[in-house]
C-alpha cells in the first residue's frame, strides 16, 4: 500500500494511521523504548502538556524533546539514571480524526488512555488509570509515516507519583 | 520518656508520618496555626476581580484581588450550609455565589445577597435579627512578599515580612527581582506523608546519591560546593549549590568509589544544560523552603514555586508553578521550557523525590516503635558551609516538635 500516492483513499489513510499508533503503543508497552525515537523524524518535537496548561495557553510541558537526540537522551536516562517504581504501560488508542490531509503531511487528533501496572513488591500487579488525553499529531507522509510533531495533551494533570516513561 | 526537644531531631518517630491524630493536630497547630502559607504568585492574579483557589493545609481557600487592587482571602465554605462556594480553580468574577442556595459574597468575603430573605408574601424567610454582617465567609489574613502571596488563619501571628525573616528575605529577593510571568503548572499526587517531602527538600545528602542524572552523563559530580542557611527558628531553610573546579570534584568522587561516579555516557543533545547567567550570586541550584509548604527553586534557569499540600496522613500533592520574568527574551524563554525537563513529575533530577518519599512510607508502615536516624554532620542544627549534613532536617524537627510536642519513640 503506497500511502504517499496522491490518490490514496480515506480508508487507506485511516488504516495506516491506526497501524502507526498501534505500533507506537506496542513499542512502549512492550518496553522497547529504544524504538520510540524511531517513530519521529530527526527534528521532531515531542511534548507532554497538561490540558490545564494548554487551556490557559501556557507552554510548560511535563516532558519536552526537540529532536530525536533529546528523545534518545530521555530513553538513556530512563535506562541508566532515573529511579522509579518498576512498571509497565498499556495504551488504548482510539480512532484518529484527520484534521488536515495533504500529500506530504497529515494532521490528526487521537484519543488515548494509558493504564499503569506497578511491579514493585508493595503494589505488585496493581493497575491504575495513569493518564488519559489526546495526541495532537503532525505526521510526515512517506512510505513510512513518521511524526513531525506529537503533542500529548493529558487531561490528567495530577500525575500519580511521577512520569518516567513517555506516553 | 525522653524530653521532646532533645532527641526528636535526630530520632524522628515513624508514627509522625502516618498517625491520623498527629495529622489532625498538625492541621490545627501548623496550617491553621501561627504560620503563613504560600498560596499564589501575584502574577497569577494580575487584574481586579481575579481569583485563585488554593489550600491552607486541608482547608480549601480562595484568594481574590478586589476592584481596588487589594488582595483578600477566605475559606471556601459557604456561611449557610458549608458548601464550596468557588468551584473553579481560577478566573475573574465580581462576586462569588454559592450554587446551593445562591448566597453571594463580595471579593472580600462579605455576604451581600440572600435569596428570599424576607420570605414570600410575608411567609418564611429570616427574622428581623438576621444579620448579613455576621455571616460572611471566614476571612484570612493575606499578605505578599516580593510577589509571593501567603495567607494565615491566625490573627496574632507576626507580619509576613518578619515571619520570613532577615536570613531568608535576601534569597527570595534574589529570584523575585522583577515582575514574573507564569509559564505553566505541573502537579503530582504522592502516596506519602507531606513531611517526608519537607525533609527531602531540606536534605542535600541525597542530591547526588538519589538523582543520578548529572553524574551518569558526566555533567558534574556532586561534591560541588554549597551550603545551607537556616533562619533562627529553624523552620525555613536555604540550600545552595555551585560548581567547584573539575579536578576537586573528580578526585573526591573517585576516592569515594560511588556508583554515582561514571564517565562512560554523555548526552546526545547537551543543549538541555546550556544555561544563561541571570541571578546574583550565580548558583547552579538553590532550593529555599518557607515553612510549612513552600519551596522556591532555581535549578539552572528553571524558576518555580512548589506548593506542598497535605492530603491526609498518607498522601500529599505537589504543585509546581513555573515562571519566568515578564521581560524574558525568546532565548531565555526557550531555555526555561527546555530545562523544565529537569524538574517536576518527569524531571530528570526531581522525579525520584516523590518516589523516595513513597518508599519510606511503604517501609515504615505501622511501625510505632521505630525512628529515623538523622545524625549526618553531627547533632546540631546550624547553618553550614557544606552539603553533607542533615542539620536542616534537625532544625525542621526541632521547630516542629516545639509546636507538636512529640515524644521520642
The H or E element spanning position A117 is strand A105-118
User: B288 vs chain A: nearest CA distance in angstroms?
Assistant: 22
Cα separation, A61 vs A49, in Å, equals 4
SS (H, E, C) chain B: CCCHHHHHCCEEEHHHHCCHHHHHHHHHHHHCCCCCEEEEEHHHCCCCCEEEEEEECCEEEEEEECCCCCEEEEECCCCCCCCCCCCCCEEECCCEECCCCCCEECCCCCEEECCCCCCECCECCCCCCCCHHHCCCCEEEEEEECCEEEEECCCCCCCHHHHHHHHHHHHHHHHCCCCEEEEEEEEEEECCCHHHHHHHHHCCCCHHHHCCHHHHCCCCCCCCEEEEEECCCCCCEEEEEECCCHHHHHHHHHHHCCCCCCCCCCCCCHHHHCCCCCCCCCCCEEEEEECCCEEEEEECCEEEEEEEEECCCCCEEEEEEEEEECCCCHHHHHHHHHHHHHCCCCCCCCHHHHHHHHHHHHHCCCCCCCEEECCCCCCCCCCECCCCCCHHHHHHHHHHHHHHCCCCC
More confident of the two residues B8 and B13: B13
Residue carrying the nine cell digits 473553579: B88
Phi, psi angle pair for A117, to nearest 5°: -110, 125
Is the alpha carbon torsion for B161, B164, B170, B172 positive or negative? negative
Distance CA A32, CA A24 (A): 10
User: Is the CB of residue B73 less than 8 Å from the CB of residue B40?
Assistant: no
Is some CB atom of chain A closer than 8 A to the CB atom of B352?
yes
Query: What is the pLDDT, as a whole number, of residue A78?
Result: 97
Task: Please tell me the distance from the alpha carbon of residue B6 to that of residue B11, in angstroms, as a whole number.
Answer: 9
Chain A residue set in contact with B, beta carbons under 8 Å: 48-50, 52-53, 56, 58-64, 66-67, 69-70, 72-73, 76-77, 80-85, 122, 157-164
Single pTM value for the model: 0.94
Residue B44 pLDDT exceeds 70: yes
**CB-based contact A84 B351, cutoff 8 Å:** yes
Q: Say what the pLDDT of residue A1 is.
A: 47
Domains by residue range for chain A, with CATH: 5-154 (3.10.450.50)
| Closest CA of chain A from B407, distance in Å | 30
pLDDT value for B409: 56
pLDDT band at B2; cut points 50, 70, 90: very low
Given A60, A77, A82, which is nearest B337 (Cβ)?
A: A60
Q: Which residues of B fall within a CB distance of 8 Å from A62?
A: 186, 344-346
pLDDT, residue B220, reads 62
Q: Do the beta carbons of residue B8 and residue B22 sit within 8 Å?
A: no
Above 70 in pLDDT, residue B222? no
The answer, yes or no, to whether residue B223 has pLDDT greater than 90, is no
B249 pLDDT higher than 90: no
pLDDT confidence of B290, banded at 50, 70, 90? very high
Residue among B46, B75, B77, B54 at smallest CA distance from B319: B54
Task: Say if residue B219's pLDDT is above 80.
Answer: no
Considering CB atoms only, which of B268, B340, B354 is closest to A64? B340
pLDDT at B246: 54
Residue of B189, B390, B39, B94 lying closest to A128 (CA atoms): B189
Whether pLDDT at A47 is above 90:
yes
Give the pLDDT band of residue A54 (cuts 50, 70, 90): very high
pLDDT tens-digit profile of B102-140? Answer: 999 999 999 999 999 999 998 999 999 999 999 999 999
Q: Give the nearest partner residue to B340 out of A56, A61, A84, using CB atoms.
A: A61
Residues 61-90, chain B, touching A (beta carbon < 8 A): 89
Helix (H) or strand (E) holding A91: strand A87-93
Give, as one character, the DSSP assignment of residue A95: P
Of A19, A22, A16, nearest in space to A3 by CA: A16
Inform me whether the pLDDT recorded for A113 exceeds 50. Answer: yes
A–B interface: beta-carbon pairs under 8 A: 122
- Residue A149: pLDDT over 50: yes
Measured in angstroms, the CA of B351 and the nearest CA of chain A are apart by 6
| Region B267-282 average pLDDT | 93
The answer to whether ipTM exceeds 0.85 is: yes
pLDDT in tens, B58-93: 999 999 999 999 999 999 999 999 999 999 999 999
- Angle of helix B194-202 relative to helix B391-404, nearest 10 degrees, comes to 140
Q: Which of A157, A158, A114, A128 is nearest to B189 (CA)?
A: A158
Chain centroid to CA B89? 18
Of the pLDDT bands very low, low, confident and very high (cuts 50, 70, 90), residue B4 is: very low
Give the residue-averaged pLDDT of B161-171. 98
Predicted confidence (pLDDT) per residue in A127-142, tens digit: 999 999 999 999 999 8
pLDDT of A161 higher than 50: yes
Residue B354 distance to chain A (closest CA, Å): 6
Does the structure show a pLDDT above 80 at B258? no
**Could you tell me if B259 and B251 are in contact, meaning their C-beta atoms sit under 8 angstroms apart?**
no
What percentage of chain B carries pLDDT values higher than 90?
81
Beta carbons of B311 and B320 less than 8 angstroms apart? no
Q: Could you read off the pLDDT of B325-383 as tens digits, one per residue?
A: 999 999 999 999 999 999 999 999 999 999 999 999 999 999 999 999 999 988 888 88
- CA dist B99 and B87 (Å) reads 9
The least confident of B183-197, B233-247, B305-319, B332-346 is B233-247
Hey, what's the cell of B150?
A: 501567603
The fraction of chain A above a pLDDT of 70, given in percent, is 96
pLDDT in tens, A10-33: 999 999 999 999 999 999 999 999
pLDDT at B386: 81
Please list every residue in chain B whose beta carbon sits closer than 8 Å to the beta carbon of residue A158. 187-189, 317
At B250 the pLDDT is 52
Residue environment code for B359-384, b if the CB has 16+ CB neighbours within 10 A, otherwise e:
bbbeebeeeeeebbebebbeeebebb
Determine which of A38-42, A94-98, B10-14, B315-319 has the lowest per-residue pLDDT on average: B10-14
Burial tier of B244 (Cβ tally within 10 Å: 0-12, 13-18, 19+): middle
Mean pLDDT for all residues in chain B: 92
Q: How confident is the model at residue B3 (pLDDT cuts 50, 70, 90)?
A: very low
In the prediction, which pLDDT does B93 show?
A: 97
Closest Cα in chain A to B270: A70
Amino acid at each position: 500500500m503506497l500511502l504517499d500516492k496522491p490518490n490514496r483513499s480515506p480508508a487507506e489513510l485511516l488504516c495506516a494511521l491506526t497501524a502507526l499508533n498501534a505500533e507506537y503503543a506496542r513499542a512502549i508497552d512492550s518496553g522497547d523504548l529504544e524504538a520510540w525515537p524511531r517513530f519521529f523524524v530527526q527534528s521532531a518535537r515531542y511534548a507532554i502538556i497538561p490540558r490545564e496548561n494548554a487551556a490557559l495557553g501556557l507552554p510548560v510541558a511535563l516532558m519536552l524533546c526537540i529532536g530525536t537526540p533529546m528523545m534518545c537522551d530521555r530513553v538513556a536516562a530512563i535506562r541508566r539514571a532515573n529511579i522509579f517504581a518498576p512498571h509497565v504501560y498499556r495504551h488504548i488508542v482510539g480512532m484518529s480524526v484527520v484534521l488536515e490531509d495533504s500529500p506530504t503531511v497529515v494532521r490528526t487528533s487521537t484519543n488515548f488512555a494509558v493504564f499503569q501496572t506497578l511491579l514493585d513488591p508493595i503494589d505488585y500487579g496493581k493497575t491504575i488509570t495513569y493518564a488519559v488525553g489526546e495526541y495532537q499529531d503532525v505526521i510526515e507522509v512517506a512510505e513510512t509515516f513518521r511524526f513531525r510533531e506529537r503533542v500529548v495533551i493529558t487531561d490528567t494533570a495530577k500525575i500519580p507519583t511521577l512520569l518516567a516513561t513517555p506516553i | 520518656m525522653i524530653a521532646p526537644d532533645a532527641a526528636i531531631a535526630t530520632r524522628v518517630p515513624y508514627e509522625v508520618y502516618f498517625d491520623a491524630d498527629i495529622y489532625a493536630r498538625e492541621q490545627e497547630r501548623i496550617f491553621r496555626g501561627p504560620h503563613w502559607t504560600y498560596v499564589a504568585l501575584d502574577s497569577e492574579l494580575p487584574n481586579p476581580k481575579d481569583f485563585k483557589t488554593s489550600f491552607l493545609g486541608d482547608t480549601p481557600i480562595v484568594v481574590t484581588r478586589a476592584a481596588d487592587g487589594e488582595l483578600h482571602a477566605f475559606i471556601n465554605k459557604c456561611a449557610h450550609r458549608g458548601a464550596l462556594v468557588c468551584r473553579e480553580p481560577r478566573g475573574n468574577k465580581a462576586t462569588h455565589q454559592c450554587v446551593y442556595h445562591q448566597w453571594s459574597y463580595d471579593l472580600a468575603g462579605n455576604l451581600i445577597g440572600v435569596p428570599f430573605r424576607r420570605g414570600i408574601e410575608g411567609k418564611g424567610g429570616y427574622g428581623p435579627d438576621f444579620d448579613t454582617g455576621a455571616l460572611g465567609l471566614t476571612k484570612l489574613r493575606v499578605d505578599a512578599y516580593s510577589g509571593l502571596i501567603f495567607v494565615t488563619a491566625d490573627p496574632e501571628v507576626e507580619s509576613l515580612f518578619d515571619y520570613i525573616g532577615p536570613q531568608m528575605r535576601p534569597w527570595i529577593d534574589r529570584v523575585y527581582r522583577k515582575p514574573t510571568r507564569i509559564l505553566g503548572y505541573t502537579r503530582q499526587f504522592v502516596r506519602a506523608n507531606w513531611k517526608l517531602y519537607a525533609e527531602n527538600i531540606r536534605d542535600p545528602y541525597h542530591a547526588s546519591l538519589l538523582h543520578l542524572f548529572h553524574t551518569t552523563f558526566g555533567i558534574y559530580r556532586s561534591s560541588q560546593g554549597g551550603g545551607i542557611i537556616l533562619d533562627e527558628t529553624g523552620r525555613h531553610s536555604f540550600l545552595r549549590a555551585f560548581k567547584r573546579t573539575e579536578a576537586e570534584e573528580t578526585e573526591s568522587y573517585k576516592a569515594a568509589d560511588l556508583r554515582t561516579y561514571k564517565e562512560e555516557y554523555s548526552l546526545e543533545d547537551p543543549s538541555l544544560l546550556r544555561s544563561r547567567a541571570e541571578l546574583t550570586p550565580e548558583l547552579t541550584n538553590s532550593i529555599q523552603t518557607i515553612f510549612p509548604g513552600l519551596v522556591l527553586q532555581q535549578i539552572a534557569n528553571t524558576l518555580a514555586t512548589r506548593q506542598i499540600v497535605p492530603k491526609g496522613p498518607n498522601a500529599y500533592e505537589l504543585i509546581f508553578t513555573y515562571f519566568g520574568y515578564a521581560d524574558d527574551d525568546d532565548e531565555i524563554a526557550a531555555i526555561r521550557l527546555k530545562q523544565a525537563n529537569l524538574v517536576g513529575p518527569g524531571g530528570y533530577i526531581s522525579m525520584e523525590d516523590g518516589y523516595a518519599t513513597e518508599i519510606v512510607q511503604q517501609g515504615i508502615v505501622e511501625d510505632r516503635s521505630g525512628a529515623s536516624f538523622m545524625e549526618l554532620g553531627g547533632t546540631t542544627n546550624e547553618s553550614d558551609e557544606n552539603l553533607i549534613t542533615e542539620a536542616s532536617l534537625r532544625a525542621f524537627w526541632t521547630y516542629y516538635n516545639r509546636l507538636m510536642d512529640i515524644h521520642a519513640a
